[in-house]
Amino acid sequence: AEPQRPGQREEPAGLDRPEAHSEHANLTQIVEYFCPTSFISKLLPEASQQYHLITGSLTWHEARSFCRVKYTDLAAVNNMDDKNRLVNMLGGRVAHTWIGLHKGAADRWMWSDGSGRAHFTKWKEGEPNNVAGDEWCGEMSETEAWNDMSCGDKKYFVCYERELMTHSKVIQKDVSSSLLSSSCRCASSAPHLAFHSSSLARTSTWAFVRACLFLMLLLSSSSF
């Protein structure tokens, strides 16, 4: 069973949380269905991260899957402000928590949300050391510094949720099977958008087209 946050009511399967009500937020949510988080980060630089501690023990990969369904992804920490907000949120209640840090290609530490290499780091002294030979995932330790651990260990974890300055929530939800055959390719190097659909319902198709038009409008006014 999926871990629940303290005081959280269990939600029926497949029921989305109605946290975004404005048209702008709804369209942005649809864009999140089809576009990688790394692209959204460039497209919406005014967005900030809201952290959520999940008090249920999962492996790193299980935690990532949970965060991607319920929120945006495992916590990314891109600067000292992010680190301080995360520490303040935890309030010393938890000794070891998974964050979105993992070892990628060429032994580089990356963020799980696709935003790229972890340029800001806060490693514990002597870390990362890969002492067990399989420590490919990152945790925040009791000293508020980071440590590499085996991805199969089970720990509490921290998700993040992208939040616009307008306070509209941008939530990356699970893509339903009816949407899997449709794609909206986001290219950060050029304002190019490709669209095809094979099985979308008429209403979903219209919503998707509107979202793509919204994305193209943002692209036309953004520089990368």
> pTM for this structure?
0.56
The secondary structure of 166-205 as a DSSP string is T--EE--PPPPGGGTT-EEEE-SSS--EEEE-SS--HHHH
Domain-wise residue ranges, the chain:
20-46+166-224, 48-163
d(CA 87, CA 148): 18
Name which residue leads in pLDDT, 223 or 60: 60
The one-letter code for the residue type at 205 is T
Q: Looking at residues 87-102, what average pLDDT do you find?
A: 88
DSSP-assigned beta bridge partners for residue 161: 50
Q: What is the pLDDT of residue 140?
A: 93
pLDDT of residue 141: 83
Burial class (CB in 10 A: 0-12, 13-18, 19+), 14: exposed
Tens of pLDDT along 121-179?
999 999 999 998 899 999 998 778 999 999 999 999 999 987 644 333 333 333 333 33
Return the CATH fold of 48-163.
Answer: Mannose-Binding Protein A; Chain A (3.10.100)
Return the percentage of the chain with pLDDT > 70, whole number: 51
Q: What is the mean pLDDT of residues 76-95?
A: 87
DSSP symbols for 20-37? --SHHHHHHHHHHHHS-H
- H helices of 12-160, in order, are 23-34, 37-43, 60-70, 80-90
- pLDDT for res 114: 84
What is the per-residue pLDDT for 116? 82
Q: Which of 211, 218, 198, 222 is nearest to 32 (CA)?
A: 211
